[in-house]
Amino acid sequence: MMAGMTETPHPLYDRHAETLNRALAAITERGYWSAYPESPSPRVYGETAAADGKAAFEAYLDGDFPLDQPGTDDRVATEASPFGLKLGVRYPHAGADALVAAASAALPGWRDAGPQARVGVCLEILDRLHKHVFELANAVQFTTGQAFVMAFQAGGAHALDRALEALAYGYAEMTRHPGTAGWEKAAGKGEPLRMTKTFHVVPRGVALVVGCNTFPTWNSYPGLFASLVTGNPVVVKPHPRAVLPLAITVRYAREVLAEAGFDPNLILLAPEAPGEKLASTLALHPAVKIVDFTGSTEYGDWLEANARQAAVYTEKAGLNTVVVDSTDDFAGMCRNLGFTLSLYSGQMCTTSQNILIPAGGIATDQGHKSFDEVAAGIAGAVGKLTADPARGVEFTGAIVNDGVLARLAEVTGVGETVLESRAVEHPAFPDAVVRTPTIVKLPADATDTYSQEWFGPISFVIATDSTAHSLEILKATVGEKGALTAAVYATDEAVLDAAEAAAIEVGVHLSANLTGGVFVNQSAAFSDFHGSGANPAANAALTDGAYVANRFRIVQSRRPA
Amino acid sequence: MMAGMTETPHPLYDRHAETLNRALAAITERGYWSAYPESPSPRVYGETAAADGKAAFEAYLDGDFPLDQPGTDDRVATEASPFGLKLGVRYPHAGADALVAAASAALPGWRDAGPQARVGVCLEILDRLHKHVFELANAVQFTTGQAFVMAFQAGGAHALDRALEALAYGYAEMTRHPGTAGWEKAAGKGEPLRMTKTFHVVPRGVALVVGCNTFPTWNSYPGLFASLVTGNPVVVKPHPRAVLPLAITVRYAREVLAEAGFDPNLILLAPEAPGEKLASTLALHPAVKIVDFTGSTEYGDWLEANARQAAVYTEKAGLNTVVVDSTDDFAGMCRNLGFTLSLYSGQMCTTSQNILIPAGGIATDQGHKSFDEVAAGIAGAVGKLTADPARGVEFTGAIVNDGVLARLAEVTGVGETVLESRAVEHPAFPDAVVRTPTIVKLPADATDTYSQEWFGPISFVIATDSTAHSLEILKATVGEKGALTAAVYATDEAVLDAAEAAAIEVGVHLSANLTGGVFVNQSAAFSDFHGSGANPAANAALTDGAYVANRFRIVQSRRPA
């Protein structure tokens, strides 16, 4: 019998079996669960954790990042912090062929180790990353512009939860039937026919993960760990401006792999020189069989059209939409939307952009509110959150890149400004680029404007004829361009049902009547699906069966028993 | 709350829950199980079943097939029986737009019915088809050229088993988490955050099934029922020469759908006029989101490259390979391979083509056998099975089309004939086109000849330097062109392991030392995977998680609890 499916329990599997089993239960229940505490409090992580993590982060600056990878020709340093910090980390730089060759050579041993060993090693990697979560949080903060707490949560704890979720789905999929099975079929009066069948989990090949600038870990971990646990070596191509969080990830993953006796080249960092287009070279490499990408629609579409030898999973741009019909908590609605628009200056792929409000206004617990009053209510909530610079920057963080600034400039000309974007001086980082959100009023026929994504702190309040009209606009725009999130505010069940029907029709996840501490731009691992794959904003969801099932194949052998 | 996920048990679900639950267990155990008896014996099916089925089949001949479908412009009759029978069945013929429009209109009600209702209705369809299994078997026999027992088994009972297997996978995938879930997260000293989440199963859109000439039901049912149960209306485009088995399928499926109160246009037959290229028109239709195809590599590749709006599942051609190293049952090996080559005149996508034997011969229980003795042993087994025309035709059936005859003529020129193909007169059908298998000897360097598929009763015995050389050829040819099956005969565990390693490397299912009543060209539902998706012969397996998971999406809605 071949190795692989008749494995003895791996010590790292045993060590993490409880976490895995809890995660396996969580993905079937989809209630609340989290494995990695989201509070960076010293009461949770210890008195020195924050300082140690910061020091570890700072030790990387202006130095050669410690990564012993094959094929290194030179080093590249391409990052610039939105907080104005000089990073200057130099990463080992190799060509696509050298990376793919090293990854390919690592495949057989990892494949033959089997699902239990692989999931054990991957869980140990998450555990190791969790031990360095403050280091990771600092790296995420200073490459993306997220404020610290958000970087800790979204870039650290929640990213690890999403990784664990992907591991659980991958493991469940690989083990949904046994590694070996007996087969016995009656054969008339003779002896029964008896066979022993072995089912090998066989990976697709080398996997490529193309990271994004804003959520280098959260958006990369699901694909990375889904591919790795199913047996595929992973080449991680970070965004040139957000290399460090993934470099740290690769560093500790390689450390764990080597300790466990596996080839560390099962995971490789592929930083690129300016203008190199390494992602495209890697994505078209014949040995690359899986691509995970988060970023622009243009490049995602290019990957889907061109990386034909690979299974391609993309999360792209979209038109996140809010339908405001009525509310029994006007203040709560405005606070909730204000928080969503302010968080990370609207630079989340889940931030609402198009807020559809009947031109005639809406019914609320505070009586009828006109369109302008609703717009002013939301604008006021943003204003309140961002009024004090010291407090405001803890919500907004900094602006990730110049493209956002350009759009902020451009948007002033497209409609009537309800809330102006302000430049804010960061109290701790004088060179940080901080901008508060803007809200612009548009008529319903300004489709050309609001049916494109204005990534950044830019939202539109759009005056519609009615809620029915708002739902038509939602269906038309999201159907055509996609969305990761939609929200509705309504007191009438029939309106909520109509919104849900519209959301189902265009395949977008819907949140209803959020007025408290749950926000439309946040999704919780193990419970909320992120993206649906049912509209143009993404061709897959994080994480479901479809996200993992195609990353490996079953190859069967049978012998007479 | 929307309909769909909070469903009450559907009566058809209740009726078939036991079958479903047994099937759900079978796909996790992968031992022997079958729901539909494969013996056409009157003791199993009753004294009149065979005659009734034959009469029902004959009633279709030379008539308008009873199918009440929208958009019918005219009728088409394109079949010609390999048994020489005049069929002359006229099918309703509609254009792609009319078919897709009718299917699309049927989608919302089916989607909203939810997984339980859908699986209940689909199980009732299988039950109804099973009640007409002799009718189906006759239709398969006379369109494909299969002998009756094979048509009954592969085209009837086994096809229904494969359909049930696909239903079980689809149902398991749709229900791996609940339709609704409560979510409660502690929020410091305040009230916990509480949400109710609803997870809607949303189909991809219209599904297209493109049937093949040789196995119109067996190869079509998995995709058809996987798509249908996950909520997608299905347009069935049969092969022009094998329409009737799928017309009967669509007829009874529509009957069940209508009885259950659903739009019968959830399943539509799309027969084509000669040269119409309806499959291509349908496959490129923007509303068609899933395509299942069995047939030529050329057309499968075309679909994969061009039907970009759809998830495309293809089973194409391949080079099924046997590595003969040694055996402790020479007679059994020859008998087993002889049966494989003779069954349906080698016109199965799983029939072995390339038999790799060391030029120096092999060790057997009958002492050393030279290459020519091994070839003669296999040829002798074929000869014995096919010597008596009356008995032989019950194995070989008839030749499916003229392409096979052309290849039989061509192959006489490519090497030394070990076994000549003979034309046989069918005792019951004087116009049947019957041919016995040919075996041709090739040197190992005749790669140009044996690295293409010679579909039909054509096999090569290929003289290699050694078993190691045979395994190299297996890896090279199957790696490049793919295969659905591979077999090895060896008495040495190390050789079996080396063959298994080679099979894993090129992603082909391997059968070892088959000398009795299990054959490499047969795969059993619920236990054997058919195709792996890991080599060029198919991009998916029948049936695994990957085959069903991408046929629908989850769209979530959440509201404060």
DSSP for A320-376 reads -EEEE-EES-HHHHHHHHHHHHHGGGG-STT---EEEEETT-EEETTEEE-HHHHHH
d(CA B353, CA B508): 14
Please state whether beta strands B91-94 and B72-76 pair in parallel, antiparallel, or not at all (unpaired): antiparallel
* Model pLDDT for residues A176-227, shown as the tens digit of each residue: 999 999 999 998 888 999 999 999 999 999 999 999 999 999 999 999 999 9
For residue B443, give both structure tokens: 């040197």
Dihedral over Cα of B278, B284, B287, B290: its sign: positive
**A169 and A545 in contact (C-beta within 8 Å)?**
yes
Please provide the DSSP assignment of B219-283 as one string. TTHHHHHHHHHTT--EEEE-BTTB-HHHHHHHHHHHHHHHHTTS-GGGEEE----TT--HHHHHH
B557 to A532: CB separation less than 8 angstroms, yes or no? no
Mean pLDDT for the stretch of residues A468-496: 98
Report the C-alpha gap between B220 and B294 in whole angstroms: 8
By CB atoms closer than 10 A (0-12, 13-18, 19+), residue B417 is middle
Q: What is the number of other CB atoms lying within 10 angstroms of the CB of residue B58?
A: 13
pLDDT of A188: 83
pLDDT band at B61 (very low <50, low <70, confident <90, very high): very high
Residue with tokens 């809010």: A322
Query: A512 to chain B: which residues are within 8 Å by CB?
Result: 557-560
Chain A residues in contact with B304 (beta carbon < 8 A):
308
Tokens, residue B165:
């297997």
DSSP code, position A106? H
Provide φ and ψ at B226, rounded to 5°: -65, -40
Q: How many CA atoms lie within 13 A of B39 on its CB side?
A: 8
What are B414-443's pLDDT values in tens digits? 999 999 999 999 999 999 999 999 999 999
| List of chain B residues whose C-beta atoms are within 8 Å of the C-beta of residue A496 | 559
Selected for mutation to probe chain B from A304, A532, A557 (highest B CB count within 10 Å) is A557
Computed over every residue of chain B, the mean pLDDT equals 96
Closest CB from B183, B308, B534 relative to A32: B183
For residue B176, give the nearest of A501, A513, A545 by CB distance: A545
- Burial of B7 from C-beta contacts in 10 A (0-12 / 13-18 / 19+): middle
Which residues from A are below 8 Å from B181, CB to CB? 29-31, 527
Sorted by sequence, the CB contacts under 8 Å of residue A373 that are 6+ apart come out as A361
Q: Residue B428 carries which side chain, given as an amino acid letter?
A: A
Give the dihedral sign, CA B281/B282/B287/B292: negative
Chain A: nearest CA to B529, how far in angstroms? 7
Residues A135 and A152: their CA atoms lie apart, in Å, by 9
Alpha helices in A397-492 (DSSP H): 402-411, 447-450, 467-481
Q: Measure in Å the smallest separation between the Cα of B539 and chain A Cα atoms.
A: 10
Residue B103 and residue B265 in contact, taking contact as beta carbons nearer than 8 Å: yes
Domain B11-185+193-316, CATH: 3.40.605.10
Q: And the tokens for A345?
A: 């200056």
Separation between Cα atoms, residue A556 and residue B530, nearest integer Å = 9
CB contact under 8 A, B555 and A507: yes
Number of neighbours of residue A491 by Cβ within 10 angstroms:
16
Rounded-to-integer distance, Cα B246 and Cα B121, Å: 18
Counting every residue, how long is chain A?
Answer: 561
CB contact under 8 A, A560 and B305: no
pLDDT tens digits, residue range A276-297? 999 999 999 999 999 999 999 9
Any idea where the domains of chain A sit in the sequence?
11-183+191-317+551-560, 321-512
Q: Which DSSP string do the residues of B45-100 spell out, in sequence order?
A: H-TTHHHHHHHHHHHHTTSB-----TTEEEEE-----TT------BEEEE-HHHHH
d(CA B340, CA B517) in angstroms, rounded, equals: 11
The two structure tokens encoding residue B138 = 């006759």
How far apart, in whole angstroms, are the C-alpha atoms of residue A401 and residue A394?
18
Question: Could you tell me the pLDDT band of residue B321, with boundaries at 50, 70 and 90?
Answer: very high
Which residue in B has a C-alpha nearest to residue A556's C-alpha? B509
Cβ-count burial A181-198 (b if 16+ within 10 Å, e if not): bebebeeeeeeebebebb
Q: Using DSSP, state whether A419 is helix, strand or coil.
A: strand
Q: Tokens in use for B348? A: 């199965």
Average pLDDT of B167-187? 96
Cross-chain CB nearest to A193 (options B28, B512, B518): B518
Which two three-digit tokens encode residue A235?
A: 């080449």
| Residue B511: strand pairing partners | A558, B487
* Strand, coil or helix: A440: strand
Whether B517 sits inside 8 A of A28 (CB atoms) is no
Amino acid B9: pLDDT: 78
Pick A182's closest partner by Cβ from B31, B198, B514.
B31
Non-local (6+) Cβ contacts of B290 within 8 A are B204, B205, B206, B207, B208, B223, B227, B232, B310, B311, B312, B313, B551
Contact, B408 vs B424, CB < 8 A? no
Q: Judge whether residue A89 has pLDDT over 90.
A: yes
Cα separation of B166 and B223, whole Å? 7
CATH architecture of residue range(s) B321-512: 3-Layer(aba) Sandwich (3.40)
Cα gap A283→A311, rounded to integer Å: 10
Residues of B in contact with A184 (CB under 8 A): 31-32
Q: Are A2 and B518 in contact (CB < 8 Å)?
A: no
Which residues contact residue A192 at a Cβ distance below 8 angstroms, ignoring those fewer than 6 apart?
A184, A185, A186
pLDDT (0 to 100) of residue B2:
44
**Which residues of chain B neighbour A305 with C-beta distances below 8 Å?**
308
> What's the rounded Cα separation, in Å, for the pair A383 and B349?
68
A525 neighbors A162 (Cβ within 8 angstroms) = yes
Count of CA atoms in the C-beta half-sphere (13 A) of B170: 32
Query: Residue A378 has which token pair?
Result: 């939301």
Closest CA–CA distance from residue A201 to any residue of chain B (Å): 9
Parallel, antiparallel, or unpaired for β A416-419 and A362-364? Answer: unpaired
Q: For B76-93, what is each residue's pLDDT tens digit?
A: 999 999 999 999 999 999
In this prediction the ipTM stands at 0.96
pLDDT at B5: 46
Residue B554 to residue A532, Cβ atoms within 8 A: yes
Taking residues A261-271, report their average pLDDT: 98
Residue B313 to residue B283: CA distance in whole angstroms: 12
Whether the ω angle into residue A175 lies within 30 degrees of 0, i.e. cis, is no
Position B72 confidence tier, pLDDT thresholds 50, 70, 90:
confident
Tell me what the pLDDT averaged over chain A comes to.
96
pLDDT at site B7 = 55
Spatial distance between the Cα atoms of A485 and A469, rounded to a whole number of angstroms = 19
Per-residue pLDDT band at A72 (split at 50, 70, 90): confident
Across the interface, whether the CB atoms of B200 and A516 are under 8 A apart is answered no
Q: Tell me the mean pLDDT in the region B269-281.
A: 97
* Level-2 CATH architecture, domain A11-183+191-317+551-560: 3-Layer(aba) Sandwich (3.40)
Residues belonging to chain B: 561
Question: If you ran DSSP here, which 8-state letter would residue B511 be given?
Answer: E
Give the pLDDT score at B73.
81
Residue B250, both tokens: 């669509």
Residue of B493, B555, B559 best to disrupt the A interface, most CBs of A under 10 A = B555
Do the domains spanning B11-185+193-316 and B321-512 agree at the CATH topology level? no
**pLDDT tops 70 at residue A6:** no
What DSSP designation does B437 have?
-
Chain B hits for A515, CB-CB cut-off 8 Å, are 560
Q: What is the pLDDT of residue A2?
A: 44
- Helix, strand and coil percent figures for chain B, each rounded to 5: 45, 20, 35
B486, B509 contact by CB (below 8 A): yes
